[in-house]
Amino acid sequence: MSTDTDLRARLRDLADAAPHAGLAGDDLWRTGVRRQRLRRAVTVAGTAVAVAVVVGLTSVLRFPTALPPTEGPAELGIPRVVLPPDPWSEPTATPGPLTAVSVALRSEPVGLTETRDPLQLFGISAVDGVARFLDVPGLQININSDTVAISPDGTRVAMFRWVGEEGAAIRGWDVLDTTTGELTTLRVADQPEIVAGVFGYQIAFTGDGRYLLTSFSLDGSDKDRAKSFVAWDVATGERYVAEGPGRRWAPGVASGPNGVVWTRGRDVLTIDPVTGDRSEISVPQQLVDASFSPDGETLAYIGDAGDRPSSRAPWQFHVREADGVIRTVDVGIEPGQILGWQDATHVVVSQNGPRQARVVDVVSGDWERLVLQQEAGALMFPSRYATDLFARDTVGPAEQPDSGDPRPWMHQEVQWIGIGLLLGGVLQIWLVIRRRRARA
Amino acid sequence: MPAREDAAGFSEYVAARQTALLRTAYLLTGHRQDAEDLVQMTLVKVVPHWSKLHGDPDAYVRTVMVRESVSRWRRRRWREIVGATAPEPVTDVPSSETRLDLQRALAALAPKQRAVVVLRFLEDLSVAETAQVLGVAEGTVKTQTRDALARLRQLLPDLRLGDEEPCGTLVP
């Protein structure tokens, strides 16, 4: 054992056993330079790969994005094809003026991997033609399209506000201002629940867009005969009873440039809620639908050719001129609905269901074909059109922006990249282990 | 890319300082071959930064070497566990029993404790300088010095240390 117990001295003594290798500075310099170049190249390559992956994913992956705001004049007419929005697109309360509304399935993420696809109301913009889901909190969609209405100018959308599950009762009617996003619920103060009933479903705006037409019982009864035909002033919430209770059937909602228009049997009735002026026109046919021309002179209507409402005879299109002369016009299809007027002498008539339509010259009786399509997913819910916009030329479908699941891991591209990274990591670990074993 | 004069200056530095670097590396690794590898790798890693090392490059070189040594120790330990191979034996045993005892005692220290001992008692660095090289707080250096010396005293009972040994100052 050494007598030298000084750590410092013993360390120096041990260090004397260090190798005396003749390290060549030039060689080390070159090695260092090569290593630096290699590391720089690897860094550049890695950065390039990372950038490529990010750019690639950005261009491939589609996430829900807020659709562009609708800016500019609302100049578009009725779309010949109603395409729904991408299921993952974000809803909006301010889609701007609309040309049509319908429903489609909208996808929502649930948890990490689940998805739910509720029916959601969407509208076609009169500005850019893009379809946007409407953001109406708590809205439940009934497959019956009569529970939704769009104002003739496309700036308001009305819909039933159901109590709980649809079918039993409603709280009232929601009216969404599509330009401001303001949502108003029209309701009866002393009736927290309004019994709608099967025959009280249909709602519609008046031709001036001022009133929403509804049928319900003012005293809360669920009897059909207790229902009244009520016009709601959507700006003030005031209601006007156009037709009181006592009739078994709800009226047929008709249209005209002003006031409330409806049908009863063979009669077309009108009332001006402001002045109280009433009018009544009788025709020989049982009425299915009726509409006054923009100038109020001509009445176009669809009538049952038989003597009784239950007759199975084909429905026919008729024109009643201002002088009372009625003409039946063969429009080449069985008419089911009057959609709107292009001008005072041209009316758009369509079949029920598939939208084979006709633009009919009510003076000459000539007509032109018009096909109004919608994507298969919305076939159960025929589109509702902003009727004033039939005055413009119809337009083709606009390109709908793509969207996608907001969860990156649900994208197949990301899943493949994840699998690739996992395999790469495993391979890297295996290579490291193999290299270290080889060194050992 | 560093200029040509940098390469010449680097070569001069290597020629002048390699013996001292190898001595330090030998105490850090306890193995002659490992010491040579450690010094070479340290100098190779220094090359890209050489042009920025104005004045005395020793401090930076020492920092790179100590950290590389610790990293190598970690990698070696990992290999020993994953590879299930025996630890590398101390093959180049110093000639004397005294050296052998000290080498074994140093090998028993944790790598950072060993680095602290080497830097403080071979390189004669202060606590602050040692903390800078290791990238730790001065308090950590003091603690590691105290623990390392306690361990050495345990392994080398005849080792003579001074009153200030917790701070690493030896009695001459």
Q: Which of A2, A11, A21 sits opposite B22 (nearest CB)?
A: A21
Q: Are residues A374 and A310 in the same domain?
A: yes
Output the pTM of the full model. Answer: 0.63
Chain A residue numbers touching B97 (CB-CB < 8 A): 1-2
Listing DSSP states for A58-94 in one string gives HHH-----PPPP--S------BSEEPPPPTTSPPBS-
Do the chains contact at B121 and A19, CB–CB below 8 Å? no
Q: Which two tokens stand for residue A399?
A: 């390109």
| Residues A114 and A91: beta-carbon distance below 8 Å | no
Distance CA B25, CA B69 (A): 8
Query: Of the candidates A378, A402, A421, which is a domain's last residue?
Result: A378
Distance CA A405, CA A103 (A): 20
Distance CA A93, CA A102 (A): 15
Substitution target in A3, A4, A12, A14 with the highest count of B β-carbons within 10 Å is A14
- Beta-bridged to residue A169, according to DSSP, are A195
Do the chains contact at A19 and B26, CB–CB below 8 Å? yes
Distance CA A359, CA A414 (A): 51
Distance CA A194, CA B128 (A): 83
Listing DSSP states for A253-318 in one string gives E-B-SSSEEEEETTEEEEE-TTT--EEEEE-SSEEEEEEE-TTS--EEEEEESSSSTT--SPEEEE
Q: Quick one: angle between helices A412-439 and B58-82, nearest 10?
A: 90
**Shortest CA gap A419–chain B (Å):** 25
What is the rounded average pLDDT of the residues B130-158?
A: 90
pLDDT for residue B89: 44
Do the chains contact at B36 and A36, CB–CB below 8 Å? no
| ipTM summary value | 0.83
The answer to whether position A220 is within a domain reads no
Task: Give the containing element (helix H, strand E) for B102.
Answer: helix B97-107
**Which chain B residues in 53-112 lie under 8 Å from chain A, judged by CB atoms?**
75, 78-79, 82-83, 85, 92, 94-99, 101-103, 106
The answer to whether position A324 is within a domain reads yes
pLDDT for residue A61: 66
Instruction: Report how many domains make up chain A.
Output: 3
Higher pLDDT, B118 or A200: B118
Amino acid present at A375: E
- Band (pLDDT 50/70/90 cuts) for residue B73 is confident
- How far are the Cα atoms of A60, B92, B104, B112, B162 from residue A7, in angstroms, in the given order? 66, 21, 14, 17, 10
CATH of the domain at B136: 1.20.140.160
Substitution target in A2, A3, A7, A10 with the highest count of B β-carbons within 10 Å is A7
Chain A residue numbers touching B35 (CB-CB < 8 A): 18-19
Distance CA B149, CA B168 (A): 8
Across A315-319, A379-383, B63-67, B81-85, least confident range: B81-85
What is the rounded average pLDDT of the residues B57-80?
A: 80
CB neighbour list of residue B132: distance below 8 Å, 6 or more residues apart: B59, B63
Backbone angles phi, psi at B54, to 5 degrees: -85, 145
The answer to whether position A110 is within a domain reads no
pLDDT for residue A74: 77
Instruction: Report how many domains make up chain B.
Output: 1
The answer to whether position A185 is within a domain reads no
pLDDT for residue A344: 93
Q: Which of A14, A23, A36 sits opposite B102 (nearest CB)?
A: A14
Residue B12: which domain range? 3-169
Q: Which of B13, B26, B172 sits opposite A18 (nearest CB)?
A: B26
Sign of CA dihedral B19, B22, B24, B27: negative
Substitution target in A28, A33, A428 with the highest count of B β-carbons within 10 Å is A28
Residue A16: which domain range? 1-61
- How far are the Cα atoms of A375, B11, B118 from residue B21, in angstroms, in the given order? 79, 14, 12
In a 13 Å sphere around the CA of A13, the CA atoms on its Cβ side amount to: 19
Query: Of the candidates A327, A354, A378, which is a domain's last residue?
Result: A378
Q: Is the pLDDT of residue B5 over 90?
A: no
Q: Are residues A366 and A422 in the same domain?
A: no
> Could you list the pLDDT tens digit for every one of the 440 residues in chain A?
444 458 888 898 899 888 886 888 888 999 999 988 888 888 888 888 888 877 777 666 666 666 666 777 778 999 998 888 888 888 988 899 999 999 888 898 888 888 888 888 999 999 989 999 999 887 777 767 778 899 999 999 999 888 776 566 888 899 999 999 999 999 888 888 887 665 556 899 999 999 999 988 888 887 878 888 999 999 999 999 999 888 877 788 999 998 999 999 899 999 999 999 999 999 998 898 999 999 999 999 999 865 555 556 788 999 999 899 999 999 999 998 999 999 999 999 998 765 789 999 999 999 999 888 877 555 567 788 999 999 999 998 888 888 888 888 888 888 888 898 899 999 988 888 887 776 55
Q: Are residues A371 and A289 in the same domain?
A: yes
Q: Is the pLDDT of residue B78 over 90?
A: no
Q: Which of A404-413, B112-121, B155-164 has maximum average pLDDT?
A: B112-121
Backbone angles phi, psi at B38, to 5 degrees: -65, -45
Interstrand relation of A81-82 and A367-374 (parallel, antiparallel or unpaired): parallel
Distance CA B43, CA A28 (A): 7
Q: Which two tokens stand for residue A20?
A: 């005396």
